[in-house]
Amino acid sequence: MYPFSEGSYAVRNAWYVVAFSHEVTRSLMERWILNEPVVLYRREDGVAVAIAGRCPHRHFPLAAGSLQGDTLVCGYHGIAFNSDGRCVRIPTEGRTHSSFDIRKYPLVERWKWLWAWTGDPELADEALIPDHEAINLGRAESPSFPVSYHLVNGRYQLMHDNLLDLSHLAFLHSTKIGVEEVATTRDTVSSGPNWVRSMRLVEDAPSPPAIRERFGDAKLSQLIDFTFYAPALHVGLNRFELDVVTENESPTKVRLIDSIVFHAVTPATKHLTHYFFAVTHNIQDPSDLDNSKVKALALAVIEEDLRATELIERMLQGLDEKIRDRLTAGDTAVDKGRRILQSMMSAEARILNLSIPK
């Protein structure tokens, strides 16, 4: 599906954020991942689990059932499953069948969110989750906090495209965090087999409205340094510095804002996406930061991104998928990100074809 080749939807052998930790409790929660319903809950010992969300008997949603201890009982005819997905009771039969067993998804709780593996469980290597220490998530000296979860009415790649082409800051977010110079400064793009980095340093630019409001009108330098860890996470550094020149001293840079943003993007269904947003602030004194204001600004910006995504999804309805979008010089990272995802999907499809006997 657009913008990928026919038959390609999403990378399956991968870890995706499926929930923030605080969302998963002793109440059953349904969340779709890669077009499959999943039910999430915590066992009595606090460990979070993810099992298939559709009852194999009559397809009743298992999240509409109930928990008896750690056992999930379907709310329709009472067939029960343990937290490994094994069927442990069929009331009408007095015995169980392994054909009623349901899928259990490998699930890892790291920092303040849960990563689920959607592919072959044999391949679920935790080392494939981006190294949280390395990406500055959860370090004591730089507090990180979940900001928001959104269910977006659009295919997941529209969110990746959004985050890989940040020239949109200048226009979509012009009343908040964008200035024209962000679009006219070319980004430097580098990449590896499963990551893409886009970095731009915008120097001597006017303050965007949100910065002006807080720190007054001044020329700033802005570093925007984003990395996409395919297929599920974007980590971005936003750094605003003010050049201060004082008499008899060499110019110094005063750091006004230094934050790292985390955008986890998870395909829910073909036209719906889960989006998790979190922030880390590198600050000396956490009381310097008014989190409620930062959060309000972040949410207002996200609202603009989600609206753009939803509007584009609407434009894609009925579009001949052979009509490609046109890319500009600002789309190097977009193009690279798409190619990485396409090659991951194509590699999975090849393995699948090989394992299906002809």
176 touches ligand FES by CB under 6 A: no
- Of Fe ion, ligand FES, none, which one does residue 57 interact with (CB within 5 to 8 Å by kind)? ligand FES
What tokens were used for 78?
A: 């009472």
Overall size of the chain counted in residues: 358
- Of Fe ion, ligand FES, none, which one does residue 58 interact with (CB within 5 to 8 Å by kind)? ligand FES
C-alpha 351/C-alpha 358 separation (Å) is 13
Minimum CB distance to ligand FES, residue 299 (Å): 39
Q: Are 27 and 41 in contact (CB under 8 A)?
A: yes
Q: Give the footprint of Fe ion on residues 259-318 (CB under 5 A).
A: 305
Closest to Fe ion by CB, 101 or 305: 305
Closest to ligand FES by CB, 74 or 233: 74
C-alpha 225/C-alpha 199 separation (Å) is 4
What tokens were used for 63?
A: 């999240």
According to DSSP, the residues that pair with 185 across neighbouring strands are none
Q: Are 168 and 302 in contact (CB under 8 A)?
A: no
Minimum CB distance to ligand FES, residue 25 (Å): 22
161 touches Fe ion by CB under 5 A: no
Closest to Fe ion by CB, 161 or 305: 305
Encode 291-355 in three state secondary structure: HHHHHHHHHHHHHHHHHHHHHHHHHHCCCCCCCCCCCCHHHHHHHHHHHHHHHHHHHHHHHHHHH
C-alpha 102/C-alpha 51 separation (Å) is 7
Binding to ligand FES by CB under 6 A, coded x per residue (else -) over 77-106, reads xxx---------------------------
Minimum CB distance to ligand FES, residue 269 (Å): 21
Closest to ligand FES by CB, 57 or 150: 57
Closest to ligand FES by CB, 72 or 278: 72
Minimum CB distance to Fe ion, residue 125 (Å): 32
Check residue 187 and report its DSSP letter.
Answer: P
How wide is the angle at C-alpha 197 spanned by C-alphas 304 and 310, nearest 5°? 25
71 touches ligand FES by CB under 6 A: no
Minimum CB distance to Fe ion, residue 162 (Å): 6
Q: Using N-to-C axis directions, what is the helix angle for 332-355 and 156-164, rounded to 10°?
A: 140
Closest to ligand FES by CB, 92 or 353: 92
C-alpha 49/C-alpha 26 separation (Å) is 11
Binding to ligand FES by CB under 6 A, coded x per residue (else -) over 29-58, reads --------------------------x-xx
Minimum CB distance to ligand FES, residue 345 (Å): 33
Q: Which stretch binds ligand FES (CB under 6 A): 17-25, 74-82, 234-242, 246-254?
A: 74-82
C-alpha 342/C-alpha 333 separation (Å) is 14
- Which residue in the set 9, 60, 195, 215 belongs to the binding site for ligand FES (CB under 6 A)? 60
C-alpha 263/C-alpha 276 separation (Å) is 6
- Where on the chain is the footprint of Fe ion (CB under 5 A)? 305
- Where on the chain is the footprint of ligand FES (CB under 6 A)? 55, 57-58, 60, 74, 76-79
